Amino acid sequence: MFKKILFATSASPACDDAANVAFDMARRNEAELHVFHVLGLPTRGFSPFVTDVRTGEEADHDDEYHAWVKEEIKNTYARQLETAKNIELVTSVGVPHTEILRYARQNDVDLIIMGSNTRGENVGASRFKGVAGSTVQKVSKAARCPVLIVSRPCTTCWSYFSNIVFGTDFSKASWSAFLFAYKVAKTVGCKLHIFHALDLRSDESVESSQGLIEERIEEIKGRMTKIYGKAMKDFDNFEFEVWEGMPYVEVLKFARERKADLIVMAHHAKKVDAEDATLGRTVEQVALRSACPVASVTHPDKVEVLEEDSQLAKA
């Protein structure tokens, strides 16, 4: 399913769970795995010195320094590298999210894998505040391919998935996320759960009427059938579900109840152009708290299933 996977890492403990997923997926897909690390930010212009992203210290980024960092990465992932094939270790200098996006684009990467935070010393604080790392946010916003965010140990392998949860807000970006979720479900042969959280906090007309809430839920299920149901040609292992409540809370509860192996969502919740969007609070909260990996999808690139499926859904 994936030919080229980019694992963006700071080679810190914060990326260990993402590393296990990246190496495992590359092995099972017989894909190229590009282990990518940005050394640091140039101190000024094209200075030969960088501020190391891990230590915060200034270093001379000559060939010897690049070679030393690659050896450190090899030591960090020594266990995974013992059985790994078709691996390339790459180091770069610059702004992390810019370099990750540039490398992914230049190498036609199919999937980017990252930890929800890349700096180990900030993991606890970031999770406490409920804020994903800025590099993850910026990569998710602009990546042309899906971004898989891993914040916990993954107990299931990609090829052994049983349940995928796709959370939709019916936005344009959600269609791209649907295509990706559908593609994975068809390829792996697992169940696809299409889910929407009905947030009534700003709708006073129905918040006190159970009858109206149930009416709205049935309307949304009908919309799901019209948009997504007819697009899933020759695939019937799916269900539609709508729960009422705060979106990120309901997505997490639903994923836990269905024993989800993967959650797929558009990278923002508001119906705005991807270029103007930040990582939506719903996706951010889900990614930080989910027991399984979360795939953030922005663009349709790399996620088309079959041309006739796509055209059918748009008809």
pLDDT of the residue at 232: 92
258 contacts 290 by C-beta, under 8 angstroms: no
pLDDT of the residue at 42: 65
**DSSP run (H or E) holding 149:** strand 147-150
- Report CA 217 to chain centroid distance, whole Å: 28
The number of helix segments (H) and strand segments (E) in the chain equals 11, 13
**Per-residue model confidence as pLDDT tens for the chain (315 residues):** 899 999 999 888 889 999 999 999 999 889 999 999 998 766 655 556 677 666 667 777 778 888 888 999 999 999 999 988 999 999 988 888 999 999 999 999 999 999 986 555 444 444 434 444 678 888 988 899 999 999 888 877 777 889 999 999 998 889 999 999 999 999 899 999 999 999 887 665 555 678 888 899 999 999 999 999 989 988 999 999 999 999 999 999 999 999 999 999 997 644 544 444 444 568 878 988 899 999 999 887 777 654 444 444 444
For 315, counting Cβ atoms within 10 Å of its Cβ (0-12 exposed, 13-18 middle, 19+ buried), the class is exposed
Beta-strand runs (E) in the chain: 4-8, 32-38, 40-42, 49-52, 58-60, 87-92, 111-115, 147-150, 163-167, 191-198, 238-244, 262-266, 294-297
How many CB atoms lie under 10 A from the CB of residue 314? 9
Tokens (6 digits) for 164: 């995928």
Q: What are phi and psi of 83, to 5 degrees?
A: -115, 5
pLDDT of the residue at 71: 93
Q: What are phi and psi of 68, to 5 degrees?
A: -65, -45
Rounded to 5°, angle at Cα 269 from 310 and 122: 120
Q: Beta strand pairing status for 163-167 and 191-198?
A: parallel
Which pTM was predicted?
A: 0.84
pLDDT of the residue at 121: 46
pLDDT of the residue at 107: 96
pLDDT of the residue at 129: 40
Give helix 307-314 / helix 172-188 axis angle, nearest 10°: 140
- Alpha carbons 146 and 4: distance in angstroms, whole number: 12
162 contacts 30 by C-beta, under 8 angstroms: no
